[in-house]
Chain A
Amino acid sequence: MEKTLNQKAWFLVLPVFLLVAFSAVIPLMTVVNYSLQDTFGNNKFFWAGLEWYTELLHSERLWSAFGRQIIFSAIILAIEVPLGVFVALNMPKKGVWASLCLVLMALPLLIPWNVVGTIWQIFGRVDIGLLGHTLAALGIDYNYTRDPLAAWITIITMDVWHWTSLVALLSYAGLQSIPEAYYQAAKIDQASRWSVFWFIELPKMQGVLMIAILIRFMDSFMIYTEPFVVTGGGPGNATTFLSIDLVKMALGQFDLGPAAAFSLMYFLVVMLVSWVFYTVMTNLDKKAGY
């Protein structure tokens, strides 16, 4: 019997095709397109090749924003991860207090980002802000609109305030999943509190901590709203992180070509780091024998 040849089945994958095309491929290709061309307006484009890329790779402006970004992410990870673990270790394990703690911890996570920015912008103001005014009254020279260090401290404190809860909640979930028998065995083996943390709690939290670090890294690496609201990237360029710089370039100066090249490199860096994390995590899982 002859087989019926029918190509209509291809129509079945069409919806997925269209969805992916419009949501990912076409926008991305538009950016790729911009990154390879130059324009003087009037919708006229000229082929520029890799010019924007070479220019950006030699741009001091980009590299300094990248440096600030790395330092920012490193600092907030170095504070939020240990602090989050510490908070999780000290949260009550059950009862009313545990529920109350969970609700309180979740609160900062529920506040919209620009609201967080606004809260801290006002909180830190020397004229009317509780924090800024108090510090000024104590004779401490604090002004985040003038002093780069004060601006950094404000933004880092804000991020820690906003996101440590996430690390704490994830760690708490990891801790809660440790069977009671481990703690009992440790008591039987006369282990110290430090040993219990180092040999039981930390290894068991490894998985969730990796996820927490990954999420916090990506989020902080792409941070935009909060520093934009608080400092607008200033004073000077002191808190101009990659996203802020990108928006300045694309919308402020309307440099479409360089901004597109910038976005693609930015995207590649985030993807690369995520891939490294993913590989490390799956290797950990394999070692654990899941």
Chain B
Amino acid sequence: MGMAHWPRRLVLGGGLKDMAKITLSKLAHSYLPDPKGEADYALKEMDHVWEDGQAYALLGPSGCGKTTLLNIISGLLTPSDGRVLFDDIDVTQAPTAARNIAQVFQFPVVYDTMSVRKNLAFPLRNRGMDRASINTRVEAIAAIIEMTDVLERKAQALSADAKQKISLGRALVREDVNAILFDEPLTVIDPAMKWALRTQLKSIHAALGHTMIYVTHDQTEALTFADQVVVMYEGRVVQIGTPQALFETPAHTFVGYFIGSPGMNVLDARVEGTFAYVGDEKIALGADYGRPGGKVQIGIRPEFVSLHGKTGMAAKIHRVEDVGRHKIVRAELCGQAVNMIAPEGAEIAADAARIQFKPDAISVFVEDWRLEPGGGKQG
């Protein structure tokens, strides 16, 4: 499986590529005809550039505006404010067909009366491609989605999995698209197939070099697929970064919670210079954060909380969950919940235990946004 072993020539089919950098400029969208305040906007004002040829994941909970953003890029939705540019050409008002974009939807869409082959050929036929080139291209894509042997069958009679693979195939069949957008495309696919398809998508990206934007609410899916992950929360992009950056330096408490399993521990605290105070406990920080005001919190990943017999802060352990390769310890520190990850073999005392935070792994948040040492605020 995978397509790294397919000759590049076959996969490309020998056409010209015409990809674009996609710029969102002061973009915002409201579904209401007359939006009043910020709360009326499904998508808050944003500026963002999707670089040509990158694989992005758009990650966020349901209802955070991911699909809205995707539909604005593909032109299925016209934004209420701002502009969309493909390589500096304003396409905000351009219809979907003029944008030459491929998009895969959450639920499979196949043309019932057509065979699998005709389904795959449909976007090419609409572009007036000649029959021979269409055939070559369709065969190549059928090989990638592993449907060569069912090419002549009616699409209607196939399973949901297979139908979604046809949808994927239709998105990949045009070589000259400006971008390929995926809107939670693997929701209906069973888990084993999911892994295989995701890996395939990644190698297709490597081989074809299209700009790809992959919408998902599944962090594993996002982190395995993308070079850059864009995290959205309540209609706003809260962080764009590599999977590593999202893990180590979340820009917003939401990124902390959302990435990682379990998510980051975020504790209400008071920060003075190089120390934080949670309840009566004094916790050393990796750097000097000054004296921030407002709602101050510190965040620490469960991976960087360690359990000690004697030294450290007194914590109350509520529950230990053995998830196989490690244990998740649910505890409480000064009335606030703290999760930690302990190695599989660790002995965990039933009653009071002592825990320690790794100083340079602690993040400081003011009003939910990350505070950089020295007092500079990011975001």
Contact = CB atoms under 8 A, between A and B. Distances in A.
B122 A184 contact: no
A199 B170 CA distance: 15
Contact of A188 (B101, B127, B154, B157): B101
Question: Which of B103, B107, B111, B113 is the most central at the interface, judged by chain A CB atoms within 10 Å of its CB?
Answer: B111
A139 interface: no
Contacts of A191: 122, 126
Given A204-B112, A287-B157, A289-B157, A185 B97 contact: no
A181 B107 contact: yes
Interface residues of A, number: 19
B76 A190 contact: no
Interface string B107-139: 101011110000000110011000000000000
B95 interface: yes
Contacts of B157: 287, 289
Contacts of B96: 184, 187-188, 190
Nearest to B74: A188
Contacts of A288: 112, 156
B94 to A, nearest CB: 12
A206 to B, nearest CB: 9
Interface residues of B, number: 29
A184 B76 contact: yes
B109 A181 contact: yes
B323 to A, nearest CB: 36
Interface in B90-107: 95-97, 100-103, 105-107
A189 interface: yes
Interface in A82-121: none
Contact of B123 (A182, A190, A192, A203): A190
Contacts of B122: 189, 191, 199
Interface string A166-209: 00000000000001011011011111100100011001100000
A179 B108 CA distance: 11
Contacts of A181: 105-107, 109
B23 interface: no
A199 B107 contact: no
A192 B126 contact: yes
Given A287-B156, A289-B157, A184 B126 contact: no
A187 B71 CA distance: 12
Nearest to A204: B112
Interface string B12-26: 000000000000000
Interface string B62-105: 00000000010011100000000000000000011100111101
B216 interface: no
5 residue pairs, one from A and one from B, having the closest CB atoms: A187-B96, A185-B109, A189-B123, A190-B97, A190-B126
30 contacts: A181-B105, A181-B107, A181-B109, A182-B109, A184-B76, A184-B103, A184-B105, A184-B109, A185-B105, A185-B167, A185-B170, A187-B75, A188-B76, A188-B96, A188-B102, A188-B103, A189-B122, A189-B126, A189-B170, A190-B96, A190-B97, A190-B123, A195-B126, A199-B111, A199-B113, A199-B114, A200-B111, A203-B112, A204-B112, A289-B157
Interface of B: 71, 74-76, 95-97, 100-103, 105-107, 109, 111-114, 122-123, 126-127, 154, 156-157, 167, 170-171
Given A188-B74, A200-B111, A287-B156, 19 more contacts: A179-B107, A179-B109, A184-B96, A184-B103, A185-B109, A185-B167, A188-B76, A188-B96, A188-B123, A189-B122, A189-B170, A190-B97, A190-B100, A191-B126, A192-B126, A195-B126, A199-B113, A288-B112, A289-B157
